[in-house]
Chains A and B, each alone.
Chain A
Amino acid sequence: MRAHGPCESRAGVPREHATTVPVAFRERLRSFLTIFRYDLSAAWKGLLAVFLLFSVIFALLFPLLKSYEDNKSLSADLNFSVSVVDEANSFFGELFVEVVKDVPYLKNVYFDTLEQARERLESDEIILYATLPPDLFQQVRSGSVKESVQLFLNPRKAMEAASLAALIRQYYFAVDHLYSAVFGYQREFMKLGGDEDESWEQTTKHALNALSSYFTKHRFAEKGSNPDRTTFFHALSGILILLSFIPALGVLYQTSRLCRSDLENRMILIAGRIPLAVSRILTGLTWWLVLILPWLIALRVAGVLNTLLPTTLILIAVYLMGAFLMLFVGRANAATVSVYQVGWLIFFALLLFGGVFYPTSLFPSWMRSISSFTPMHAPLQALFTALTQKGHVPKGPMLLAFWPILPTLALAFISTGRRRSGT
């Protein structure tokens, strides 16, 4: 078992004494790849199991992801029937029914009496009915609203009602804005010799037609603050951040398990400290790929993301930050159980203050201030932006997502490079 040639290049060591430790770049690379393969071999069954599990999950979840981006499916989701109650049988009510009847996600628009509308609501035939005050048209003309339009939502269809309420809120501002805009048109009509009543009718019709053209565009509904969509993307951001961080706990396990063991000593004496740490990081990165890549591909295919790069970079940043942090924690001079507990505690604290469990905007102000300085906050915000903006993230938030890497890398480097002074 005599040493082979390259070991003899160790400067200063007599040729006959030199033993085989990796010195040349190729030897170091070979040594590192052996350690990496060894670390990976311990995990391959788990990796395969997770990959298969995720394949099944995505086969089941894909239609849901797809529906969030598919216009036709959105129309199918937003498929309402409503009633308009205009007891005075005014011009406004008839006109409203006429202009909105072609809106794709309004299945039926009924022009009912109050009694009929109530019956339809009771039998769940409609989600909403609106009662127009008898003198609504006069009120609009005078600009003095005494009695407003009353909306009655179906309490048994809470989700649909919430979606419709969000749309109505948008349309309210749109109607208000449009009506102000066409006011000038009514005055011009009169100046040109038109009848005042007719001018109001024309103005109103013009305003509602313009509004109808907005109603028929799905973009209008999609771009708004649909609560379901916001919740969905927040939850998705949280899941992706969580899955990105989990491999870092594997780094903690591997580091803590071997820390100060004779097996680690043996490896360090031959290969050095850095290859061991890098191997753990890369093994974690392999886990990251298995956990995250299927999600990214599914989101890309479903059309939620047009580009994968910013999202991928943010999630890699989250993993690296976690892995570096856990390399540091894993080398703590404490019992393995205590090290795990501290690692998990840090993990949950970062998730909580990062807003993964609960949006930070809903935190008390003092907590919001603290959370904005925690390492998971900026990546979560950037990731949420990426998901809502088809994968695009402005440079500022993107760079901010990377800030935790440097301090955690410094911690990892210090703890990994430090030689032991105690047992």
Chain B
Amino acid sequence: MNEGLHVRNLTKTLRGTEVLRNLSFDQPKGSIYGISGDNGAGKSTLIKILASVLVPDGGQVSFAGIPLSGRAQWRSLIGYVPQEVALDDRLRVRETLEFWAAVRGMPAAVRRQLVETAMGDPLISDFVNKTLRECSGGMARRTSLVVGLFGDPALLLLDEPFSGADAHSRSLMMERLRHLRDRGRSILIASHVENTLSTLCDCVLHLEDGHFPAVRLNAPVR
């Protein structure tokens, strides 16, 4: 359990409103956890804090023994797929992959290899030569997920990853996330679509008024 994600008494106030209130939970390594809740419940705030985009007001967070406060080390552990697609829609999918691989400092040979591998990835292989502008919402989401998976992060943080995705895209993405879980990756998904979370996640935490009044365990956590 020490290798997983541990959140203790996490607190965050935004513009005078307490969005997260002494939030605590533990997520074991190699599991998919879902955070559900209505709009404004604090799901995105939680994900952004865990992604080190926002600074918490209080509490402790650690993953694999690395605290959130050790920002550089923390960031080398995580993959973040934000709520928006957050990719340049002028670029082709192939160029997008090359760009984000280069931003990660990968040398040209590694980038080429990575892009070649990605070209065969069922998530994006159908539209690698399309610009993101030409892609559907689901295609863009799938591309965003692939970019988030670069570097094979130990902890993957996904904020509304299925938003705008059709059933086929959702199915492909869920399949990939299950595969990652089976390889020992920890995945935390924030979404307001409870059905999808119930189908995919080992455990769904329902966020309400900044804390978890209810926890639904879908399957035994390994």
- A: residues with CB less than 8 A from B are 1-4, 6-7, 10-14, 16-24, 26-28, 30-31, 34-35, 38, 261-263, 265-271, 419-423
Interface size class of B (residues with CB under 8 A): 35 or more
Q: Across the interface, do A270 and B103 meet the contact criterion of CB distance under 8 Å?
A: yes
Q: Across the interface, do B77 and A18 meet the contact criterion of CB distance under 8 Å?
A: yes
4 extra A-B contacts, CB within 8 A, seeds A1-B118, A24-B105? A1-B114, A4-B110, A35-B103, A423-B45
B88 to chain A, nearest CB (A): 8
Q: List 27 A-B contacts (CB under 8 A).
A: A1-B150, A4-B110, A12-B66, A12-B73, A13-B76, A18-B154, A19-B76, A20-B105, A31-B102, A34-B99, A34-B102, A34-B103, A262-B85, A265-B82, A266-B80, A266-B82, A266-B86, A269-B51, A269-B52, A270-B100, A420-B53, A420-B54, A422-B14, A422-B54, A423-B14, A423-B48, A423-B54
Task: Count chain B CB atoms within 10 A of each CB in A34, A35, A266 and give the residue with the most.
Answer: A266
The 5 closest A-B pairs by CB, nearest first: A27-B105, A22-B105, A20-B151, A262-B82, A19-B151
CA distance A27 to B105 in the complex (A): 4
Q: Given known contacts A1-B152, A422-B14, is B87 in contact with A269 (CB within 8 Å)?
A: no
Q: Across the interface, do A13 and B87 meet the contact criterion of CB distance under 8 Å?
A: no
Residues 37-57 of B contacting A (Cβ, < 8 Å): 45, 48, 51-55, 57
Q: Across the interface, do A265 and B86 meet the contact criterion of CB distance under 8 Å?
A: yes
| Chain B residues within 8 Å of A27, by CB | 104-106
Q: Given known contacts A19-B151, A269-B78, A423-B14, is B105 in contact with A6 (CB within 8 Å)?
A: yes
Check if B167 is an interface residue, CB within 8 A of chain A: no
CA distance A266 to B48 in the complex (A): 11
Q: Across the interface, do B151 and A1 meet the contact criterion of CB distance under 8 Å?
A: yes
Q: Which of B86, B103, B152 meets A262, CB within 8 Å?
A: B86
Q: Given known contacts A12-B66, A28-B105, A30-B105, is B110 in contact with A265 (CB within 8 Å)?
A: no
B46 to chain A, nearest CB (A): 12
Task: Count chain A CB atoms within 10 A of each CB in B64, B103, B114, B151 and give the residue with the most.
Answer: B103
A334 to chain B, nearest CB (A): 13
Q: Across the interface, do A265 and B53 meet the contact criterion of CB distance under 8 Å?
A: yes
CA distance A36 to B73 in the complex (A): 25
Q: Across the interface, do A31 and B55 meet the contact criterion of CB distance under 8 Å?
A: no
Q: Across the interface, do A38 and B151 meet the contact criterion of CB distance under 8 Å?
A: no
CA distance A266 to B117 in the complex (A): 22
CA distance A23 to B104 in the complex (A): 9
| Chain A residues within 8 Å of B53, by CB | 265, 268-269, 420
Q: Across the interface, do A19 and B105 meet the contact criterion of CB distance under 8 Å?
A: no
B211 to chain A, nearest CB (A): 19
| Chain B residues within 8 Å of A267, by CB | 103
CA distance A20 to B64 in the complex (A): 17
Residue of B nearest to A33 (CB): B102
Task: Count chain B CB atoms within 10 A of each CB in A7, A17, A271, A420 and give the residue with the most.
Answer: A17
| Chain A residues within 8 Å of B84, by CB | 261-263
Check if B210 is an interface residue, CB within 8 A of chain A: no
Check if B213 is an interface residue, CB within 8 A of chain A: no
| Chain B residues within 8 Å of A261, by CB | 84, 86
A48 to chain B, nearest CB (A): 17
CA distance A24 to B105 in the complex (A): 9
CA distance A421 to B64 in the complex (A): 25
Q: Across the interface, do A38 and B99 meet the contact criterion of CB distance under 8 Å?
A: yes
Q: Given known contacts A1-B117, A4-B110, A38-B99, is B66 in contact with A13 (CB within 8 Å)?
A: yes
B31 to chain A, nearest CB (A): 15
Q: Given known contacts A263-B87, A420-B54, is B103 in contact with A7 (CB within 8 Å)?
A: no
| Chain B residues within 8 Å of A12, by CB | 66, 70, 73
CA distance A18 to B155 in the complex (A): 10
CA distance A265 to B81 in the complex (A): 10
Check if B7 is an interface residue, CB within 8 A of chain A: no
Residues 80-135 of B contacting A (Cβ, < 8 Å): 80, 82-88, 99-100, 102-107, 110, 114, 117-118
| Chain A residues within 8 Å of B82, by CB | 262, 265-266
B89 to chain A, nearest CB (A): 11
Residue of B nearest to A422 (CB): B14
Check if B161 is an interface residue, CB within 8 A of chain A: no
CA distance A38 to B96 in the complex (A): 11
Check if B79 is an interface residue, CB within 8 A of chain A: yes
Q: Which of A7, A14, A24, A269 meets B64, CB within 8 Å?
A: A14
| Chain A residues within 8 Å of B80, by CB | 265-266, 269
Contact string against A for B residues 142-171, beta-carbon threshold 8 Å, 1 for contact and 0 otherwise: 000001011111100000000000000000
Q: Across the interface, do A4 and B103 meet the contact criterion of CB distance under 8 Å?
A: no
Q: Across the interface, do A21 and B102 meet the contact criterion of CB distance under 8 Å?
A: no
CA distance A213 to B41 in the complex (A): 90
